């Protein structure tokens, strides 16, 4: 293990500022070039390391790489005890960190990152005199800065002829042949690209041993097909080249952008049922003797006054905008807000007071629905059903968790923050909450990141939307991202 203190000068001219990371091959330091006052990443490898010769060979290979998605190698310095690899310092957040703090990446962004990753790997595969294989793609090795992806840590890279049997790799991202004694090739990296795409779409690593895991990828049909092809257990079933994979991703991106141009609804709905099935299973379908055609979305607040009704109305108003999408909003608590909404839509009439089901801006609303009424409504011809449970997690927990999509909201304003944080701590300790999506009213991005760090729960801030039936672009994007 390499032990070096801050402010020490290494490799003749690089002052250590801090440790960036430690791994099997060595330690990476953030340093400052004493002459240029420029930041450099310096990888320090002990010359007594059992694989030192292999690391030196890889370093010599890296010196010849010149691509905007790969850090530049400025120099190699061999001293008595250590080898120093002087690299370009790249700022940014890893995909792993982004998923921890953000939980959700829009599908179009996932595809764009996938295309960028393909371009980097294509560059390696097209090296001459023979292809270079990366062989250890994982979220912590991918940095994002201003929308641009960079690939770091080339500790496993090798020329194709040198990769006779490569068993190293990260579970969830390494191809089966890396563990089965097979011969790695370009398709090994294609598998890993698919695993990265899966990770960004699902928020978890791929588990090949789980039945139908690839069939339940939470993505639209186009992207799901691309990921499934990449993750084929048999290399023969994968794309023949990264170029072919990139072409498929470009087609998926074109489809996604066209869907968003048409309002986002068609893209949203096409992937919604597969996403919900992946997250929660059959939910309400288990309770009913017939097949349930509607997708059921539950919205629940951690306490009164946390914006549950407003959020439910935002969802209903947005989703009802899709062509041929019959949407129902059901109130399950006794909040008088729905009565006021009905009077605003139908006027102060005796008939309106007797009716529980009424139309609202393109969707249907049912106030104060009983469990029997809810069950009957779910068997009607609605395609999308949103249930507003109001507040009271314990009282509504079982019914809430039977929903296909579960959205829980709270407030981070000064006088409610402590209540929501306590609630989040309780949910973190409780089993079976992996499928819940958390949102927060009156939350800054800094607060969202801090809560993710403290509780390991990721959430989305609800944008300011004074009129839930006339959403601005920010609010429409929030709803799309919440449900896609």
Q: Which two tokens stand for residue 283?
A: 């939910």
Q: Are the CB atoms for 297 and 404 separated by under 8 Å?
A: yes
**What's the CA gap between 215 and 232, in Å, rounded?**
11
Residue 3's pLDDT is what? Answer: 52
Give me the percent of the chain exceeding a pLDDT of 70.
84
Q: What does the pLDDT look like over 19-72, one tens digit per residue?
A: 988 877 788 999 999 999 999 999 999 999 887 887 887 788 888 899 999 999
Q: What is the DSSP string of 164-227?
A: S------TTTS-GGGTTT----HHHHHHHHHHHHHHHHHSS---TTSTTTGGG-SS-HHHHHHH
Q: Which two tokens stand for residue 448?
A: 């969202």
Q: What angle do CA 199, 201, 202 make, to 5 degrees?
A: 65
Q: In what order do the strands lie in the sheet with 363-366?
A: 357-360, 363-366, 327-331, 384-391, 295-301, 405-411, 436-441, 459-461
Q: Cis link prior to 129 (omega < 30° from 0)?
A: yes
Q: What does the pLDDT look like over 117-173, one tens digit per residue?
A: 999 999 999 999 999 999 999 999 999 988 899 998 887 888 888 876 555 678 899
How do 327-331 and 384-391 pair as beta strands? parallel
Q: Are the CB atoms for 20 and 91 separated by under 8 Å?
A: no
Q: What does the pLDDT look like over 82-128, one tens digit per residue?
A: 999 999 998 888 998 888 765 567 788 899 999 999 999 999 999 99
Residue 282's pLDDT is what? Answer: 45
Give residue 351's pLDDT band: very low, low, confident or very high (50, 70, 90).
low
Q: What is the mean pLDDT of the chain?
A: 81
Q: What is the DSSP string of 244-281?
A: HHHHHHHHHHHHHHHHHHTTSHHHHHHHHHHHHHHHHT
pLDDT (mean) for 231-242: 96
Q: Are the CB atoms for 118 and 246 separated by under 8 Å?
A: yes
Question: Which residues 6+ apart lie within 8 Å of 280 measured at CB?
Answer: 401, 403, 404, 405, 406, 435
Q: Is the pLDDT of residue 352 over 60?
A: no
Q: Are the CB atoms for 88 and 74 separated by under 8 Å?
A: yes
pLDDT (mean) for 309-337: 80
Q: Which residue has the tokens 């032990």?
A: 3
- Its pTM stands at 0.57
Q: Is the pLDDT of residue 277 over 60?
A: no
Give me the percent of the chain exceeding a pLDDT of 90.
31
Residue 483's pLDDT is what? Answer: 77
Residue 265's pLDDT is what? Answer: 42
Residue 388's pLDDT is what? Answer: 93
Q: Which residue has the tokens 């306490």?
A: 303
Q: What does the pLDDT look like over 260-269, one tens digit per residue?
A: 555 444 444 4
Residue 117's pLDDT is what? Answer: 98
Q: Is the pLDDT of residue 212 over 90?
A: no
**Structural domains for the chain:** 8-88 (3.30.200.20), 93-159+169-258 (1.10.510.10), 295-483 (3.40.50.300)
Residue 268's pLDDT is what? Answer: 44
Query: What letter does residue 347 receive in the DSSP assignment?
Result: -
Q: Is the pLDDT of residue 444 over 90?
A: no
Residue 87's pLDDT is what? Answer: 92
Q: What does the pLDDT look like over 174-204, one tens digit per residue?
A: 999 988 878 899 999 999 999 999 999 887 8
Give residue 259's pLDDT band: very low, low, confident or very high (50, 70, 90).
low
Identify which of 124, 169, 113 has the alpha carbon closest to the alpha carbon of residue 146.
113
pLDDT (mean) for 365-379: 77
Q: What is the DSSP string of 80-124?
A: SSEEEEEEE---SEEHHHHHHHH----HHHHHHHHHHHHHHHHHH
Q: Is the pLDDT of residue 401 over 80?
A: yes
Give residue 220's pLDDT band: very low, low, confident or very high (50, 70, 90).
confident
Q: Is the pLDDT of residue 300 over 50?
A: yes
Give residue 325's pLDDT band: very low, low, confident or very high (50, 70, 90).
low
Give residue 291's pLDDT band: very low, low, confident or very high (50, 70, 90).
very low
Residue 435's pLDDT is what? Answer: 75
Tell whether the torsion through CA atoms of 93, 97, 102 and 103 is positive or negative.
positive
pLDDT (mean) for 299-304: 88
Residue 274's pLDDT is what? Answer: 45
Q: Are the CB atoms for 205 and 199 separated by under 8 Å?
A: yes
């Amino acid at each position: 293990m390499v032990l070096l203190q801050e402010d020490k000068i290494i490799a003749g001219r690089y002052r250590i500022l801090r440790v960036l990371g430690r791994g099997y091959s060595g330690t990476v330091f953030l340093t400052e070039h004493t002459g240029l006052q420029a930041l450099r990443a310096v990888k320090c490898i002990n010359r007594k390391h059992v694989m030192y010769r292999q690391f030196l060979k890889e370093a010599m290979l890296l010196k010849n790489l010149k691509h905007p998605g790969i850090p530049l190698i400025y120099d190699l310095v061999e001293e008595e005890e250590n080898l120093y690899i002087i690299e370009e310092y790249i700022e940014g957040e890893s995909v792993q960190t982004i998923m921890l703090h953000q939980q959700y990446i829009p599908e179009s962004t996932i595809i764009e990152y996938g295309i960028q990753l393909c371009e980097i790997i294509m560059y390696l595969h097209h090296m001459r005199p023979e292809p270079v294989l990366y062989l250890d793609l994982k979220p912590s090795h991918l940095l994002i800065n201003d929308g641009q992806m960079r690939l770091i840590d080339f500790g496993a890279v090798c020329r194709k002829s040198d990769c006779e049997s490569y068993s190293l790799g990260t579970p969830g991202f390494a191809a089966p042949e890396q563990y089965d004694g097979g011969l790695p090739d370009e398709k090994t990296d294609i598998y890993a690209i698919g695993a990265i795409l899966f990770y960004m779409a699902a928020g978890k690593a791929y588990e090949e041993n789980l039945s139908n895991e690839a069939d339940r990828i939470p993505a639209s049909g186009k992207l799901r097909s691309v990921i499934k092809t990449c993750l084929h257990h048999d290399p023969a079933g994968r794309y023949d080249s990264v170029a072919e994979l990139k072409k498929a991703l470009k087609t998926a991106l074109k489809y996604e952008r066209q869907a968003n141009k048409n309002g986002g609804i068609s893209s949203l709905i096409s992937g919604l049922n597969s996403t919900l099935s992946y997250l929660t299973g059959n939910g309400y379908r288990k309770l009913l003797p017939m097949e349930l055609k509607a997708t059921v979305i539950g919205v629940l607040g951690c306490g009164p006054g946390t914006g549950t009704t407003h959020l439910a109305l935002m969802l209903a108003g947005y989703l009802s905008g899709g062509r041929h999408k019959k949407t129902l909003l059901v109130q399950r608590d006794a909040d008088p807000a729905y009565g006021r909404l009905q009077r605003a839509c139908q006027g102060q009439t005796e008939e309106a007071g007797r009716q529980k089901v009424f139309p609202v801006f393109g969707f249907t609303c049912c106030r104060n629905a009983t469990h029997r009424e809810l069950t009957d409504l779910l068997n009607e011809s609605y395609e999308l059903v949103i249930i507003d449970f109001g507040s009271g997690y314990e009282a509504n927990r079982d019914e809430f968790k039977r929903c296909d999509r579960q959205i829980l909201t709270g407030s981070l304003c000064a006088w409610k923050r402590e209540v929501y944080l306590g609630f989040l701590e309780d949910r973190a300790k409780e089993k079976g909450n992996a499928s819940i999506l958390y949102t927060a009213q009156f939350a800054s991005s800094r607060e969202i990141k801090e809560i993710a760090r403290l509780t390991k729960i990721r959430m989305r801030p609800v944008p300011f939307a004074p009129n839930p039936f006339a959403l601005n672009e920010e609010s429409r994007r929030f709803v799309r991202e919440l449900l896609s």
